[in-house]
Chain A
Amino acid sequence: MIEVKDLTFSYGKDKKALHGLNFTVEDGEIFGFLGPNGSGKSTTQKILTGILKGHGGKVSLFGQDIASVHNREFFQKIGVLFEFPYLYSNLSAVDNLRYFSAFYPKEQLRDIGEVLEKLEFKSDFIKKPVSSYSKGMRQRASMARALISNPRLLFLDEPTSGLDPSGAVLFRRIIEEERRKGTTVFLTTHNMLDADLLCDRVAFLSSGEIVALDTPGNLKEKNSNRHIRIDYLYQGKREEKVIDIHELEAGMSFLHDEIISIHSQEPTLEDMFIQYTGRGLS
């Protein structure tokens, strides 16, 4: 679906933003693009969505070179959720969706009511102006805008930002559903939980370079010390022991009366990011 080879981009002469990115995104894949602010995530996404021109290297979308692909037909196939919920605040959610969907062929559009229902949009707000919505409601209306055209390729930038935990769960479920339908998702996020739970593969971006690219599981596994921590009771006293994962195969070799809990010492995706880039995400 997306193929990027030696992608470079500079803002002016001395401000190089991307230093030769290489990655591919397969059809129906959820691909996570993770990086701190200023790492080049937005620049990459702007190039892929045709907003920024003048890049170096080769970028193909839908099997075609990007230079020839950014036409009306291309934009009919993509959906973009921005980091901020950009909507007409004087219009209602329904009117916003009616307006934005008017630029797509009728036969590819979803039913506005159904999409809003899927996003558990509060029915009392459907006809009220967006200016009266909470941040979460705006994010839902924005997501509806990105989904309304039934896109084959979905760019999502911080999709769960501004949502309460149940809203975040709902959004993750909807993104999963999209993937099951065959939609390719390019996910840009700071949220490690989203990336871990949703992404088939993630790329860590730092200062315009991809410093790691793999499945979240592989990244964690490769860098795991393979230790587990066991909390247990022995002679009425609570104790803790860290053992190698292979020791478990031989059974519990230490004296104990009761095992309270066993914790994997596997690193988190955020630990991995810091390890690879030397920087936090925010």
Chain B
Amino acid sequence: MKYFRTLLGKDIRLMRSGRFFLVSLGFLILYTLYVNFGYVRFMDTQIYNVYLYDPAGTQERTSALVRRVSSKEAFDRALYQDANSVGINAAAGDIQIVLYGGTEKADRHRADYALSLLQPAAPYTAGDVGLYTPEEKARREITCELLFFEISAVGFLGIAAVLFKEKGMGVIRVHAVLPLQENLFLLSKLILFLLSDLVFAVLLTILNLGVSAAMPILPAILFQTALLSLIMALTGLVCALLLKDFRQFTLVYLLIAIFAATPVFLSANTAVKLDWIGLHPFYHIYMGLKNAYFGISASSPFYYLGIASMIAVLYAGVHQLFRREMGKEAA
């Protein structure tokens, strides 16, 4: 235990000298400001304005959301100034949709929405699905995404940077001749980064969801965070031990960011459908975290078995590479 404390103290000093804690704090503030003053407000913006030019008064029972304009000039001016809006020109008797073109799907959606406002009494009502208000839902989604990004991209860089530093100083080789179990050297780093990620997860969740909303889901979030943190920390260690320098690492980092994280975000948050995404391990981890944010605990035993195997294989790899690094030019 005494040895472990010593190693932990050394790692904390290394992280402090590399300004790791400061960078994490900076990201925490940045994410919180983004969620509270950017994302939530953006998600709360009004849907498209709809302008109606109907000099003959053919459309009598329109929704209150429709803005009537009195002249063709006013109609054109409104569309010119509000490029996101949709215009309905009923001057010729039939209805013409006028809008600035975007993507085909979005344009159809905008047109359908505008037309739906001409029949406000249509026999349908939207039902609420789930327990959360749109803002609560948005906060949970974005907090989950930011936490996933922080751990899989930023924290991963942190642990690799610390190990590259020690590798560069040659001190890993000194540990080969110390009365110390090499596992402790690795465990101290893993536990420190795990704790740091868990603290980050707690703060980010509380700051963006509020204490009362965060408390019931925190245990599940921390559990999923711990799994992701261990996998990413071990991946960072593998890269740092395998690659020659930090420059090489940045290339690998880009590859991991592009090929590992991007498909997950695209598949989980956009209309992009990737048939093979079920085979992507990070997709399941991301969904595990997302489920935790929405209070769903539906992950199968295979998921946990897969994660445990992944951690065990990565740890065995790190251990082998660490022994190899200790042997390099030492003694």
Contacts and interface: CB of A to CB of B under 8 A. Distances in A.
A and B together in one complex: yes
Interface of A: 42, 45-46, 48-52, 72-76, 78, 80, 82-84, 86-91, 99-100, 102-104, 145, 155, 157
Interface residues of B, number: 25
7 contacts: A50-B176, A72-B181, A75-B177, A80-B174, A90-B14, A102-B2, A103-B6
A229 B330 CA distance: 45
Given A46-B327, A46-B330, A82-B331, A103 B171 contact: no
B171 A45 contact: no
B168 to A, nearest CB: 9
A45 B331 contact: yes
Contact of A51 (B14, B170, B326): B326
Nearest to A46: B331
B21 interface: no
Nearest to B171: A86
B13 interface: yes
A191 B159 CA distance: 40
Contacts of B181: 72
B169 interface: yes
A99 B6 contact: yes
B331 A76 contact: no
Given A52-B327, A82-B174, A82-B330, A103 B179 contact: yes
A253 to B, nearest CB: 55
A102 B330 contact: no
B146 to A, nearest CB: 30
Nearest to A52: B327
A102 B170 contact: no
B169 A88 contact: yes
B173 A86 contact: yes
B17 A86 contact: no
Interface of B: 2-3, 6, 9-10, 13-14, 17, 166, 169-171, 173-174, 176-181, 326-327, 329-331
Contacts of A157: 331
Contacts of B170: 82, 84, 86
B174 A100 contact: yes
A16 to B, nearest CB: 18
A90 B17 contact: yes
Given A52-B327, A99-B10, A87 B169 contact: yes
Contacts of A100: 174, 178
Contact of A72 (B6, B179, B331): B179
- Main secondary structure on chain B at its contact with chain A? helix
Name the residue in B17, B169, B181 with the highest tally of chain A Cβ atoms < 10 Å from its Cβ: B169
A130 to B, nearest CB: 9
A90 B161 CA distance: 14
B174 A86 contact: yes
B166 to A, nearest CB: 8
Contact of B13 (A49, A91, A104): A91
A51 B171 contact: no
Contacts of A50: 176-177
A86 B169 contact: yes
Contacts of A75: 177-180
Given A42-B329, A88-B14, A157-B331, 14 more contacts: A46-B327, A49-B176, A51-B331, A52-B327, A72-B179, A78-B177, A80-B331, A82-B330, A86-B169, A87-B171, A89-B169, A99-B6, A103-B179, A103-B180
Given A51-B326, A89-B169, A102 B13 contact: no
A145 B173 CA distance: 13
Contacts of B9: 99
B331 A103 contact: no
A183 to B, nearest CB: 16
Contacts of A86: 169-171, 173-174
A149 to B, nearest CB: 9
Contact of A102 (B3, B166, B176, B331): B3
A48 B170 CA distance: 20
Nearest to B174: A86
Contact of B331 (A49, A88, A99): A49
A89 B289 CA distance: 39
A49 B177 contact: yes
B173 A103 contact: no
Nearest to B177: A80
A68 B331 CA distance: 20
A95 to B, nearest CB: 8
Contacts of B17: 90
Nearest to B181: A72
Nearest to B169: A89
A228 B307 CA distance: 78
